Amino acid sequence: MNQKTQKINQFQKIDTNHEDIIHDIAFDYYGKKLATCSTDRSVKIYQKSSNGEWKQINSITNQDGPVWKVKWAHPEFGNILAACSMDRYINIYEENRDFNQKDQSKKNNQKYNKYVYKINKDKQGTWRNTQIYDNESIEDMKFGPKHLGLILAIARADGIIRIFMFKDMLNLQIQEKITEINITKLGINSISWSKNRFDKPMIAIGCKDFNTSQIKHYCNVYGNTIKMPEEVEKSECFQIYAINIIANQQKLNQQIKIYPDETKQNEFLHSQAVNDVSWSLHNGKSFHLIGTCGKEGAIVWYLKNLEENQLQVLQKVILNYNLEVEVWKISWNLSGQLVSTTDSAEEMNVYQSKGIGQWQNVKTVKLYQDEIYF
């Protein structure tokens, strides 16, 4: 690669019109729509035009506090967007498109007259809002894979995961909390669903450690000292749970034991907080591919199924590790051949798979004075 820094023309700067910090962005399944959320209490939606430009098509300001997260559901269920904010409400937005008649032509037929309508695909509809209230701050939320139906998992700041199922696609207000899992008292940063339809439903969880937990924060603010049990203070920050999504069934959610090698010795996979976790699409692989990141860098985990509710680490690949840099986000492309990370050094790194356990940094993007370089 040429060592000389070059400007990347294919990157496009989008004027979001937000009045404050942007906390999260999310592309829809096809990459044609983009949602952003901000401290200014708004969610804005953009659409990619035929010439490649992104244009704002909607701005939603229903929240009463800063909006932390936005996530799209699978398009099979329609244009559905979830947003959570500091007011402890989860807002589910569903687009109602009014397909007004644009052109009408009469077609003669011996038996009947038939009208043919051309739908105005560029016309945008209104967004109907359904609210779910929770009595705790929400740290993350993810819609489940489409084969499980329209379900939404929310991760609370107190370390509890709740899963809601929407039973009527025509009325999202008809929903049910189907399960609740108490993960850790230290809190949760991120969750990610397994996309494998041939395996049991599973969620990977990135947890806080004691130094980043609300408990530590309260101790610093109020000058109190809270003695936590050692098994809580030094708990595993990367966990996986098998989920029971069938309501009113006695089968419990169970934690998946992850063994670092064939000896099945219990060792910590992450001893420090995991900021983000991302489960790659299965794509016919014989193993699970999960990315985690935090102060210990960005890590790719190769896991295989053992006995019931047991996984074994086939390989652990550390993509980048720097004591002075904390990795905030990690995400996969659809094929699982590319993984990208963003960190506290204001860099985005893209890694490409060169074989099982082999990853190469193919691009580093930096931001200098509103210009993007590599």
**What are the Cα distances from residue 358, in Å, to 292, 311, 315, 344?**
16, 21, 10, 25
End-to-end CA distance of the chain: 10
**What are the Cα distances from residue 63, in Å, to 23, 86, 141, 257?**
14, 8, 16, 39
**Is the predicted pLDDT of residue 110 greater than 60, yes or no?**
no
**What are the Cα distances from residue 345, in Å, to 110, 150, 326?**
72, 37, 8
CA dihedral 275, 281, 282, 284 (to 10 degrees): -150
Domains of the chain: 73-97+125-366 (2.130.10.10)
CB 237 within 8 A of CB 270: yes
Q: Give the model confidence (pLDDT) of 197-232 as tens digits.
A: 889 999 999 998 877 666 555 555 445 555 555 545
Q: Which of 2-6, 275-279, 294-298 has the highest mean pLDDT?
A: 275-279
Q: Give the model confidence (pLDDT) of 165-204 as tens digits.
A: 998 888 888 888 888 999 988 889 999 999 998 899 999 9
Distance, in Å, from the CA atom of 28 to the CA atom of 34, rounded to the nearest integer, reads 6
Tokens of 34: 């983009």
Task: Output the pLDDT for position 253.
Answer: 83
CB 235 within 8 A of CB 228: no
* pTM score of the predicted model: 0.82
Phi then psi dihedrals of residue 294, to 5 deg: 170, -150
